[in-house]
Every structure is written in C-alpha cells, then in structure tokens.
Structure 1
Amino acid sequence: MSVFSEATPLERRRFWLLLLIALVVIGAGMGLRDPWPSDEPRFALAAKHMVESGDWLFPHRGSELYSDKPPMLFWLEAASYTVLRNWRFAFLLPSLLAALGCLALVYDLGRRLWNRQVGIYAASALLITFQFVFQTKRAQIDPLVMFYITAANWGLLLHMLKGPNWRAFWFGCFCAGLGVITKGVGVLALLMIVPYLVAAFGQWHGVARMGKGAWWRWALGLVALLLAMALWLVPMLLGAKAHAGDPAYAAYVNDILFHQTAGRYSKSWDHHHNALYYVPIVLFTWLPLSLTYPGMLPRWWRSLKAKDARILLPLGWIVLLLVFFSIPKGKRDVYIMPALPMLALVSAPYLDELLQKRWLRVAGLVFIGIMGAAVLGIGAAALIAHPKFTTEFAIARGFDDGGQALWWMGVTLGAVLFALIATLRVRRAVLAVSCGMAAIWLTLSFWAYPVLNDSSSAAGVMRDVRERLPAGDQIGMVAWKEQNLLMFDHPATDFGFTRPWHEQYAAAMKWQAADPEHRWLFALDGVMANCVDRSKAVSLGHANRREWWMFKADAVVPGCLPSEDVDRVPAAALEE
C-alpha cells in the first residue's frame, strides 16, 4: 500500500512540508565547512583515498590500513563525491539522507500502526530532538547506523504487528545486516523479537499470529541477515587472502572482525563511564522531547496494562538497547541514538493530548528561555567583561579579534529566542519551541560554521603550508592528525599514524636527509622536543588546540632524536 494511498491533499502537504523543514534544518551549512574532528576527517580521508586509489575494499588512513570501522560510510561518502565532485557537500550527504530516511520510516510506522496524524507527530518529535539533529548534521557513522536499525525495526514491526508480512520481516533482517557492516551493532534490531515473544505468548492485543508451520520463514530472516553481511565480508576476506604475503592485511581482518567488535564490547579500552551514564543522556540530550516524560510515563503504563502490543514492542526494545549498552565500561552518548526513532514513535499517539497541557507548554518556554539566557549571557560577558574562559577559547582557536563574531552570534541568538517567548507566549508555546530549535540550528550552521572552520578543520593551517611550500618541494608529516593530511590536498609523505611519534620522527629524518634541499617536515610542536631549532623553523600557529611547525633540514639539530616521552603528551593536548 502506498504511503499516500487514501491520503487527503492536506495530509500530503503536511508530510512534504515536514521533510522540507528537515531538509532545511539538517542540510543548512552544507558547503560552509570542512570535516571537523574527531571522526569526520578520519572517515573523509578514508573515502578520499578510495576515490583516488580505486581501492574501495580496504580503507586507508594515510599509508596504513584503517580497521576501526567497516567501510559502509566511506563507500557512501566516496560515492557522494563521485556524483557531486565536492567534498564539502559529499562528506555530509550520507548523514542527511539517513536523517530524512529515519523521518520517513517513523512517519510510515505511525500512520500504519495508528493514523497519519500520529505519523506526523512521530516524525516531528524525532526532528525536534536535540541529539537527532546535532548528530545528523555531522558526518559520523552513527546516523547511518540509526537509519539501518530503524529500517530493520520498520520491517520487524510491520511483520509482528500488522502481519504476517514475511517480505517486511526479511527486509528488516537484511537492513539489520547492513547495520552490522556499518558499525557492527545493527544486529541489535533483532532484539525486537524478545518483546514480540512476550506479546505473542501473553495474548497481547494487536500482535500478529504466525502459525505453527512458519519456522522456516523465520529461518530465512537469518539468511537475509547473513546475505547483507556477506556483501562486504566475502569480498574483504577474498581480498585479504589475495594479499596473504602482507601481514598488514591479516592484522586488518583480525582487528575488524574480533578486536573492534567483541573485544571492544567485553574489554572496553576507552570512554569509561558508570552504569548510570545514559540517564542524563536520556534526560538532557533528548530535549525537548524528554519534557513530555512526566505525562508520557503514566500513559505508557496504562497502555501496557491494557496489553497494547504497539507500545510494548518499541518500548521494550528501547529498554533492551539501554541495558545492552549499559553493561560494558565503554559508553558514548551516540550508542543509544538508534532508540530515538522508536521513542518518538511510542510518544506520538499521546502528543496531541499532552501538547494541550499548560504545564508542558510552560516547560517548553522555560527550556527555550534557559537556552536563550545561556547564549546571551556568554556572548554579552565575552564582549563586555572578557572572562578567562572566553579569552582562553579565543586564543586556542587562534582568533585575532578575540572571537567577536562568535560572541555577537550568542547575543543575537539569545535575543531571537527571547523574542519568540515574548511574542508567542504560553498559548503558542509549541510554535515557540519549534521555531526556537530551528533558530539555534540555522544560526549555528550559517554563522558559527564559517567562523570556526579554519581552526576546527585545520583548513587554515594547511592552506598556510601550501602557500609556504615552494613549487616542486615535498613535505612529510610527523605526529599528524587526519585533518592535516585531508586538508593539505596535495601529495604528502607520512611515516605511519599509529606508529609511535619518536619512531615517526626518526623515519622522517632519514627521508628528509635523502634530499635536504627540497624536503620539508610538518610536525606537532611537542614531537620536535629540543631536536629542532625553532628560530630556523616556520611557525604555523594553532589549529585544533595544537601548535604546528614546518622546517627544512637546516633547522634539525644533528644527531638529536626525541625520547619516547614525546609519545606521552598530556591528555589536554590531544583534545579535539
């Protein structure tokens, strides 16, 4: 059945208007910035290497194989560039399309399980949530994972609540497999089977009955899952076998199939947090949708008591997802983002009633007021009193004028938010919150992006390198970051990325000595130690909270090599 079958012209217009708003809000700023750390430059660099080398099977970070993540996002970024021929648009396009896809899927689930109004509420609730827009305006893997998991949930829910619909079920399993070869966790969509079994054996209302002879159809879901995974795994394994003489490819296979999946989950080596880490994430990064929790919880409870499977399945899946990611020590806010579309779905049936409540409308205005006060206060303080934290921020970013443009942005945005509150008031608080959130995203996109881009992306410092490098000379990179190689956009030599910095420096010395008249080194200040005469080197200033230099062989202290201590820089120096 078509999405628009039996839809009125007004219902069609509402849907397309919602997608248009999403396109404007999420797409705003595309083309105005380059990839920003920490993940965006790494992924864009891998995609760029695919385009330039023709090797789309094994991602690279400079001269090294990159095995932290499967290549799905890199493929899509590279394909986007092949079509658009512009990296500033191409690296963000997969996230934008994933966001629009999630909105369409949530809308369709809402209208199929309830009605079209619920579908609009579900998509709107997702679009207004802070984490959803914040992450989908970035080129990370998580928006894509969220889309594949949502597509998997779409197929599973249609089958389990409106079925039997075996094609939808197999489609859902296939999408879960695509999620696996995107980040490994796509299989978590299949946790939906757990609340389904509870509903089926508990005789819940609205749950589909499959019949006793359907076991082989269920088994085909596993086939669909494995088929999607095989789209990458089989060519990758065959390709690694073809490079059997190179141990780097065997290490790649072992790392990406075992160390980065089961190893990362069972023995998390970074982002350690306690078991309650996700509580503030659910409360604050899911604002303003989380403002509805006090009214939503009793309504969910009544629906569960009434045995409404439409609420049990998505809500039960959210709980299982939260439990799964709360077990390991390693936790990040983006891990639970796939729960957001399902939260919007189970909230949507009650939003029409809740949005009439005065307490909720007042809470929405208070939220916008707090946001307005925060940005207005920081902006005004920076312009008038120059507090230490704003001064340090401006220095770290290399702003010669103290970051005036950013602080005026804060004052302007704060004034806009307060104007919305004063104009629309409690009676039209929903419109005030919606316009307020849109104002925040549009202001950040069109104002902050251009101001912050040079210092955030290394575009400025690498442009300086290109201008200072004489024609025909070569450059090598020591203790570099992904944004440096990406933004240089010229041939460069690297000496490894994961290799210890003191070893990179030693290898770079040998490389430079082979042609000292035409070879320069680009290096992080800390790795140079006392082995470089800074009076003969070229200071490139600050970028990404680091200080960078370039120098020729005449600046090198003969026979001096930095100790292993240069590899153990303070954590603050590594912040992005």
Structure 2
Amino acid sequence: MTERQKSWASLGAVWVLLLVLAALRPMAVPDEGRYGEIGRWMLQSGDWLVPRLNGIPFFHKPPLLHWVNASLMAALGAQVWVARLGPALHAGLMLLALYLSVRRMDFGAGERAESLARRAALMLGSSLAFLIGGQYINHDMLVAGWIGVAIWAFAAAFVGSDSGGRADRGPWVPRPGLALLGFAACGLGVLSKGLIGLVLPGLVLFVWLLWTRQFRKVLYLPWLRGLLLFALIAVPWFMLAERRAPGLLAYLFGDQQFNRYTATTFNNGRPWWFYVAGLFLLLFPWAFFALQPLVARGFKRPHAEPPLTPAARVWVALAWIWLVAIIGFFSVPHSKLIGYALPVMPALAFLAALGFEQGLGRWRHAERLFKALLVLAVGVALAVNLAATRYTERRGTADIAAVLACQMGPQDTVLAAGDFPYDLPFLVRLPQAMVVVQDWDHERQSAKDNWRRELFEGANFDAQAGQRLQGLDALTQAAGQAGQWLVAPNDQAVSGFERVLRGQSWTLYRSPSTQAGAGLASCRR
C-alpha cells in the first residue's frame, strides 16, 4: 500500500467509526430533538422555506441544516442516524479539506507533507471534536466545515498566486478557481449559521494577509464573479423568507446574533478561559503537541525535524492566526458553548501534527507512541459516547414514545404540559403538532432564554400556528374528549387523565374515553 493509499484508508476508517457511533447513541435533548424534528417537519409539511418547531416558525438559524436533514430523510427515512448524517458529512468535509490542504504545502522534504497531512487528519479524526461533535445534530459542524473550506481555499489561492500570463501584474494574482471556492464556502457558511460564516473567514484572512505582507493580492481577487456567486448562494432564502415572515431579518440578525453576542442575559455564561480549556478537551490528547514550539525553546531536541521552509512558515502563521482570532472572537460574549470552538479544529490539528513531527519526528519509537495515543483518543471518544447514551436515556422520552407510537391513532392529539419533550415528535413521527399547555400570558412577561420563549417568539410570525400554544384550561377540556394523550415530566401534577406509563423522566397519560388505536407504528414486544 502506498503512502497516499494509507492516507485515504485512514480518512475512511475514522469516518466509518463516526457513523457507527452516530448509529448507537439515542437522540439527545434539547438540541438534537429540536433540529432533528425541524428537518422531519420540513419534509412532512412540504414547506422548505420556513423552518418550524412543533409547526411554529423557528428563525434562530438559517436553514441549510434543515434542508440537508430533510433531503436525507426523504431518501433514507426519518431515523435518528439519518438526522446525524448531515453533520457527519460536514465533519468529513472538514477532515478532507485539512488533509488536502496540508498535503499540498511545501515542506521541502519529499513525502513529509503526505505524512504530516495523514497525521493531522488522524489527530482530528480521532478527537472528540470529530467523533462526538461530528455526529451531533446542530448547526455547529456545518458552519465549522464551511469556514474551514473558505480559509483553506482562499489561503491556497493567495499562496499559489501567479501572474496568469500577465507580466504587468507580477506574482500577485490569486488563483481564481480556489478563490471562487472560497466565496462559495462563505455563502454556504452564512446559510449554515449566519454572519459568522463570512465574518470569521474574513477576520482570519485579513489578519494573516497583513501579517505575511500579502495584502496587495486582495486587489486581484475575482471580486465580481465571487460576490455574485456568494449572493446567489446566500441571499435568496433571506429575501424569500422575509417576504413570507416580515421581521425575520431583524429577529435573526438582530436578536439571535447581535444581541446574543453582546448581551449578558442569555444562557451558558462562562469565564473568559472557557474555550482555551475546551481546545484541550476537544482535541485530547493531541492539542498538547501544538505547544511544542514553546516548550522546545528551553530544551535541546535530538529527535527534531529540520527547520521549516519559509513557505511552510506562511502556513504555520495562518494556523496560529486562525486559532487565536476565532477563539478570541468567541471569548468576548458572556454566553459560550463548546461547539463554537469547532471552526478552529483543523488549524489546531495541523499545529499538533507539526509539533509532534518537529519534536519527535526522528525518534525511533515515535510511531509506537502515536499509535498508543491514537488508541487512547478513540477510547476516550467511545467512553464519552457511552456516557452520553446513559445521560440521554435518563432524560429523554424514548420509553414513553415507543408506547405512544403504537397506541395513538393518526387523528389523536398529543398535549405537553410542564416542559417541552423535544425528542418526542421525532421519535413518534407525529403527523400533527402537539398542543403545548402553559400559562402563556405569564410566560410572555417572565420567560427567559428557554423553550417557552422559542415557541411564543416563533408564534409571533404565524398566529395560526401559534394556536398550538394553549392555556391551562386546555387540559380540562382535553380530559373530557376522546383521542387525547398527555405527556408531562414525572414531577408534574396531573388530574383528569389516566396514567399509561411512567418512564424515567416523563409520564404518558390519556383521557378516560381514549382507547388504544391502530397506532402510528407497530408495537415492539
């Protein structure tokens, strides 16, 4: 087997492992239940323009994830593992972009680039960022993948500049094909999660071009074609959705992006060092090797590789700027989530692979150490996947969903009270939205950054869909009707309904006149 074939086999192996883990874990709440169900509902309703949660508009993020999920479900069915294919495909995109980009770098030493590219890919592919983050149903891996493609593509266009046959321009003209790929990736990044799909690649490249004294090359980008391509990808949905739901743009960009970045009233407040610690967790144990240049200054390195070429140092500068700029950007807001660090994983994996080879490249036991750490990294990912499975089983609705799916009729109504069962509609394949019972007048005055606010803010865009949000008296009315099912947390007091099953966290009830019907799915015995 050639070195190139070994590399492709390695990429394939870690991606298959990702798919296996994705198939084994139950649907987590709230994120996976929320985003998996939005994609399923989009397919079921046939409305591919307005993402909906429980039939109510959900405009927290642009729709690329939902389009991908709905398309995959149309081909393969509405299964949990299918809903994870979208993030998994983008994790594979991130891995492929890292490998191809490092492989084409000039390290001035024969097969060194191939070896380094494979090592970087294996470091990323064995990490929690890839094996766990790459199978999680939300927008983070999608935008991280496209940000990575954009940065790699533009950087390769600049580093590979040529005159294009025009002597009057000299070596300043970026390669247009790679530059256009960068513009397209920015457009898809915006469709994945909003403005960061454009802002973060722009920030990284701006600083890098200034640092490496290449900024003059920006003048020769194919701006007209690039901006047109970007606009054709990124703009149409925002225009069409704004026409359907006036106020969408102000809500998505103003409240859900700008305010979340600047305000201190949203969930998940974390200290400034949160992402620094998160990097070592997401790329454990490899991230420590990225510190090798700092550690090596005080020590002799008998096993070190030769110094980097000037061309290679340009790429190293890109990786450090990529890492510092994006982590710095996300460290500013009060609200922090570990998934926001995913866009820097390719840069960190490249630096870790380079640090490993610079520090241990000529040590005769280096490959044994690398394989041992590879086993350790995969073992950690397996343990985390198992822990996540047990955590989810204690908090999800899978136990009552299986009973509900085989007992309720197609025309029956499901009510939810006390909390919102994010995963239930997807697991049961509900044909119609649930009735969510709360004191909504009170919630509109007092609800913080939670599921209640998600629903009533979405209902502001569609009053008819908002009728699924009912007051407390809806429970009394439903208890006297046939075909009514209720799900509520175990600690929620319920009267007027008969208990069907008490699960680990949720209890299933039905109205006294309701009989088990043909069911939406066959019962499993």
The aligned runs of 1:290-439 (5 Å cut-off) are 290-297=287-294, 308-356=313-361, 428-439=368-379
String of CA shifts for 1:66-114, please: whole Å, max 9, x gaps.
1112111111111111111242331011122112211111111111113
TM value normalised by structure 1: 0.71
**1:334 Cα deviation (Å)?**
1.2
Q: Does 1:35 align with 2:27?
A: yes
Please give the secondary structure, in 1, of the residue aligned with 2:137. coil
Q: Per-residue deviation at 1:505?
A: 4.6
The Cα of 1:450 is off from its aligned counterpart by 7.5
Residue 233 of structure 1, CA deviation = 1.6
Partner of 1:548: 507
1:81-160 paired onto structure 2 within 5 Å: 81-114=73-106, 115-160=113-158
Q: Do the aligned residues in 2 keep the contact of 1:273 with 1:331 (CA within 8 Å)?
A: yes
> CA 1:480–1:19 in 2, change beyond 3 Å: closer, same or farther?
same
What pairs with 1:165-244 in structure 2 (closer than 5 Å)? 165-184=175-194, 185-187=196-198, 188-201=200-213, 210=217, 214=219, 217-218=222-223, 220-238=225-243, 240=244
Q: Offset of 1:300 from its aligned partner? A: 10
| TM-score, length of structure 2 as denominator length | 0.77
Identity of aligned residues (%): 21
Please give the per-residue CA displacement for 1:334-364, whole angstroms capped at 9, x wherever unaligned.
Answer: 1121101012223333432434588x98xxx
Q: How does 1:436-475 map to 2 (within 5 A)?
A: 436-441=376-381, 454-467=393-406, 469=408, 473-475=412-414
Q: Distance in 1 between the 2:483 and 2:69 partners? A: 34
Shift of 1:433: 1.9
Larger displacement relative to structure 2 (192-201 or 163-172): 192-201
Kept in 2: contact 1:152–1:173 (CA 8 A): yes
After superposition, the C-alpha distances for 1:485-513 in whole angstroms (9 at most, x for unaligned) are: 22222345523489739874525236516
The separation in 1 between residues aligned to 2:46 and 2:410, in whole angstroms, is 27
Distance in 2 between the 1:498 and 1:148 partners?
39
Given that residues 25 and 438 in structure 1 are in contact (C-alpha distance below 8 angstroms), is that contact kept between their aligned partners in structure 2?
Answer: no
> Which one has more relative contact order, counting CA pairs under 8 Å at least 6 apart?
2
What amino acid does structure 1 have at the position aligned with 2:10? L
Query: Aligned-pair distance for 1:261?
Result: 1.4
Alignment pair present for 1:12 and 2:4: yes
Question: Is structure 2 residue 478 aligned with structure 1 residue 512?
Answer: yes
- Once the two structures are superposed, what CA deviation does each residue of 1:187-237 show, in whole Å capped at 9, x if it has no partner? 111113323332443xxxxx69639xx457346544443332114223323
Q: Corresponding residue for 1:394?
A: none
* Counterpart check, 1:266 vs 2:262: yes
Kindly tell me: are residues 86 and 481 of structure 1, through their superposed partners in 2, closer, same or farther at Cα, counting changes over 3 Å?
closer
CA–CA distance in 1 between the matches of 2:126 and 2:65? 25
Q: What's 1:22 paired with?
A: 14
* Structure 2 residue aligned with 1:484: 424
Structure 1 CA distance for aligned equivalents of residues 320 and 251 of structure 2: 34
The alignment partner of 1:273 has SS state of coil
Distance in 2 (CA, whole Å) between partners of 1:138 and 1:220 is: 35
Which among 54, 73, 77 is matched to residue 62 of structure 1? Answer: 54
Secondary structure, counterpart of 2:222 in structure 1: helix
3-state SS of 1:308 partner: helix
Question: Match of 2:136, SS?
Answer: coil
CA 1:86/1:352 → structure 2, altered by over 3 Å: closer, same or farther? same
Check conservation: 1:110, 1:348, Cα contact below 8 A. Answer: no
Are the aligned partners of 1:272 and 1:330 in contact in 2 as well (CA < 8 Å)? yes
SS of 1:70's equivalent? Answer: coil
The residue that corresponds to 2:448 in the other structure is none
How many pairs does the alignment contain? 458
Moved more, 42-51 or 249-258: 249-258
CA contact under 8 A between 1:122 and 1:344: conserved in structure 2?
yes
Matched to 2:282, the amino acid is T
Shift of 1:444: 6.5
Aligned residue for 1:276? 273
**Letter of the structure 1 residue corresponding to residue 178 of structure 2:** A
SS of alignment partner, residue 157 of structure 1: helix
- Secondary structure, aligned partner of 2:280: helix
Q: Name the SS for the 2:475 alignment partner.
A: helix
Measure, in 2, the Cα distance between the counterparts of 1:472 and 1:155.
52
Which runs of no fewer than 5 residues in structure 1 stay unpaired?
1-8, 202-206, 241-248, 362-425, 556-576
CA contact (8 A) 1:477 1:522 kept: yes
CA 1:443–1:284 in 2, change beyond 3 Å: closer, same or farther? Answer: closer
Q: 1:12 offset after TM fit, Å?
A: 2.6
Q: Is the 8 A contact 2:413 2:435 kept in 1?
A: no
What are the superposed Cα offsets for residues 243-281 of structure 1, whole Å, 9 maximum, x if unpaired?
xxxxxx335443223211112111141211122222211
Q: Which amino acid aligns with 1:292?
A: F
Kept after mapping to 1: 8 A contact 2:188/2:234? yes
1:285 maps to 282
Check conservation: 1:41, 1:486, Cα contact below 8 A.
yes
